[in-house]
Amino acid sequence: MKNAIRNKHWSTWTLKQLEQSVSTKNVDHGKTSVVESLTGVWTDVHSMEIKRGISIKLGYADAVIRKCRKCKGVEGYTTEEKCPICGSPTTFVRKISFVDAPGHETLMAIVIASVNIIDGALLIIAANEKCPQPQTKEHTIVLEALDITNVVVVQNKIDLVSPEKAKENYNQIKDFLKETKFANAPIIPISANYGINIDVLIDAIEKNILTPPRDETKDPLLYIARSFDVNRPGTKIDKLVGGVVGGSLIQGRLSIGDEIEIRPGIILDLEKESKESKEHHPKPIISKIVGLNAGKEKLESVKPGGLIGIATLLDPSFTKADSLVGNVVGLPGKLPPVHDEIIVNYRLFNRVDFENPPIKQDEFFVISVGTITTIGVVDRVKKGKISFKLRRSVCTSKGSRVALLRRIGQRWRLAGQGTIE
């Protein structure tokens, strides 16, 4: 049995009503353990996650994929600078950022936010549970809806079942995938807790989830997926530092010293807003980049790919508790427009697990665009098109992908997808 492949790196996204609705009775497929086995980081760090033993926010961790110069085949893959098998030096292959999304089906809005900033996915299924579980179905629908085609299926927890049960579960997974776009996706049996087959998993990632081409010549565009106040309680005023935002740079480059704009921004001075209107429009924020991090690595500039943290001169009260999640970062005057209303070219899914009737005027939807999640009220419905009035403004461009969730019973369920007109 091989030792777990580990590499110490940084870790660490929320609809509070959804967080509070999660039952402590859940199916744990061990996805956070899988991320830890690849990165050395346990990404469930939020207090409620620790209390309930499940992922609620999005977790981040980086892994540096390396290859042994002597060991041949899949056994040569590791995340260590020295090969855990023969002790030889390893060479750098590439760096991968992992987003650990919640597994529970009631947190699908947060899952969708993660899918909008990824290039591929590990679909993790527990060997000691019958397949498919509700969240497995829901996650597969999300990946299909948002056109994520690079998928590796991970059959985790093989150490908890007999070889016969593991094979039975494997066949259940194969039968389930036949009805999806991922019928030909590789299925890798592993034990994350014991590090079994992690090298085989890395090999499958290298073959099936390739780094896509990036355009560094375009104006920079970064989706904010986390935001923090990194000052400890009691820090003296002269020692306070500005707020930090984290996310994924989709295009362009950002460098220390760049002036940046954040849209839609924040709502200021509510008392000064028009008393005749109940709507308060956010104001864009202008700041400056004073630090850039990719994991624990400090950088002078960043290009697309992976997850980055940006230290700014913002008042940290603007960034605390993920308050800027869903905003986008770019150069002043170079970002997409901000919308209070959007028109979506849509299609509803044919769901067998719940009734998905035609959309009606004044119906409420949860709408996910990029990393932002907002409530949309149906204003007009035409054939193939819906006009939404949004409770929270979005900064997005024409053609952006949209996920639509509607309330079914006591839960928000993924009901359709579309693009912004």
Class of the CATH domain delimited by 338-420: mainly beta
pLDDT for res 279? 54
How far apart, in whole angstroms, are the C-alpha atoms of residue 28 and residue 35? 14
Contact criterion met (CB below 8 Å) for 245 and 310:
yes
Amino acid at 301: S
Domain pair 16-208 / 338-420, same fold? no
Does the bond joining 337 to the residue before it have cis omega, within 30 degrees of 0? no
Task: Let me know: does 348 contact 355? Beta carbons within 8 Å.
Answer: no
| pLDDT under 70: residue ranges of the chain | 1-30, 42-58, 101-116, 269-280
Q: What is the pLDDT of residues 97-144, one digit of tens each?
A: 887 766 454 455 666 665 667 788 899 999 999 999 988 888 898 888
Say what the pLDDT of residue 55 is: 37
User: HSE on the CB side for 376, CA within 13 Å?
Assistant: 30
pLDDT at 251: 92
Q: Is 68 exposed, middle or buried (0-12, 13-18, 19+ CB in 10 A)?
A: buried
The proportion of the chain whose per-residue pLDDT surpasses 70, expressed as a percent, equals 82
CA distances from 69 to 37, 63, 197, 292, 315 (A): 22, 19, 19, 32, 48
Q: Are 362 and 377 in contact (CB under 8 A)?
A: yes
Predicted local confidence at residue 51, as pLDDT: 38
Q: How many other β-carbons are positioned within 10 Å of the β-carbon of residue 8?
A: 12
pTM: 0.80
Residue 369's CB is within 10 A of a number of other CB atoms, namely: 26
Q: What's domain 16-208's superfamily in CATH? A: P-loop containing nucleotide triphosphate hydrolases (3.40.50.300)
pLDDT in tens, 245-265: 998 898 999 999 999 999 999
Domains of the chain, residue spans: 16-208, 221-330, 338-420
Taking the C-alpha atoms of residue 330 and residue 219, their distance in angstroms, rounded to an integer, is: 7
Q: Which of 401, 400, 404 is nearest to 381 (CA)?
A: 404
Q: Residue 14: its pLDDT value, please? A: 30
CATH superfamily of 221-330: Translation factors (2.40.30.10)
